């Protein structure tokens, strides 16, 4: 015997509900194979489901576009910070600046290793330290680092902060949207299962082939096993 296969994609769920609604449009309510309450629920639900999916796709597209900007800003500020620190260290090696200059930036004196700049938290922390340190050192009469200038570091740091904030907001928004879509999918599954169960019960007195034929008009899908197809 072929078995019933419930839809497992958004497109197939929409098609299943839409098919049942369309079938109801050609029948008197008394002739319909599932009850009026379920029909009304399906009619109200389908536009909500479609709209939810539309907004999800728009949010994903928006996140992709904004994500590219975020990644670019993250990459640039990481380069600017690492280059600034390296130039600072070269100035100390050439005796252009005393090693005590590292204290302005919160950098250790016993290593030339760059501080961690892998995560957003690392970048935000060290960006703040480097900018504040350079401002304080130059205000006290120190010679500015010129390549890159701290003004360029600041510009790219602010761009990164804006992009990072937007990225964080989008991630939160999309996580909530994903939860909402999962709830809609669960509702869709429940509606479809309810319709299909009622339809099969309505035609249970018919021979198997005729029962499937009638049920398929309401969107039900049946799958034959390989052995059944061969036979």
Please state the rounded mean pLDDT for residues 210-221. 94
pLDDT given for residue 130 in this prediction: 97
Give which of 93, 92, 114 is closest to 102, Cα–Cα: 92
Whole-prediction pTM: 0.71
**Residue that wins the pLDDT comparison between 153 and 223:** 153
**104 Cα distance to chain centroid:** 40
Q: What is the pLDDT of residues 67-94, one digit of tens each?
A: 788 999 999 999 999 999 999 999 999 9
pLDDT given for residue 67 in this prediction: 77
pLDDT given for residue 211 in this prediction: 93
pLDDT given for residue 230 in this prediction: 53
> Rg of the chain's alpha carbons, rounded to an integer?
32
End-to-end CA distance of the chain: 12
**214 Cα distance to chain centroid:** 41
Q: What is the pLDDT of residues 21-51, one digit of tens each?
A: 999 998 888 899 999 999 999 999 999 999 9
CB atoms near residue 17 (< 10 Å): 23
**Residue that wins the pLDDT comparison between 57 and 63:** 57
Q: Is the pLDDT of residue 7 over 90?
A: yes
């Amino acid at each position: 015997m072929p078995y019933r296969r419930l839809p497992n994609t958004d497109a197939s769920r929409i098609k299943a509900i839409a098919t049942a609604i369309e079938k109801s449009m050609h029948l008197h309510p008394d002739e319909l194979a599932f009850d009026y309450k379920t029909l009304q629920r399906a009619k109200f639900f389908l536009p909500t489901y479609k709209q939810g999916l539309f907004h999800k796709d728009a949010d994903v597209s928006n996140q992709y576009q904004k994500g590219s900007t975020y990644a670019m800003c993250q990459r640039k500020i990481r380069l600017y910070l690492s280059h600034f620190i390296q130039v600072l260290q070269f100035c100390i090696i050439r005796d252009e600046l005393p090693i005590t200059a590292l204290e302005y930036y919160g950098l250790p004196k016993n290593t030339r290793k760059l501080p961690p700049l892998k995560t957003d938290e690392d970048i935000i922390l060290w960006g703040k330290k480097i900018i504040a340190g350079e401002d304080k050192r130059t205000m006290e009469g120190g010679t500015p680092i010129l390549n890159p200038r701290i003004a360029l570091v600041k510009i790219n740091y602010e761009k990164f902060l804006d992009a990072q904030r937007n990225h964080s907001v989008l991630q939160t928004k999309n996580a909530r949207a994903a939860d909402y879509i999962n709830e809609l999918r669960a509702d869709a599954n429940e509606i479809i299962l309810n319709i299909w169960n009622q339809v099969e019960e309505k035609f249970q007195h018919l021979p198997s082939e005729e029962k499937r034929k009638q049920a398929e008009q309401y969107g039900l899908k049946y799958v034959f096993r390989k052995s059944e197809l061969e036979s």
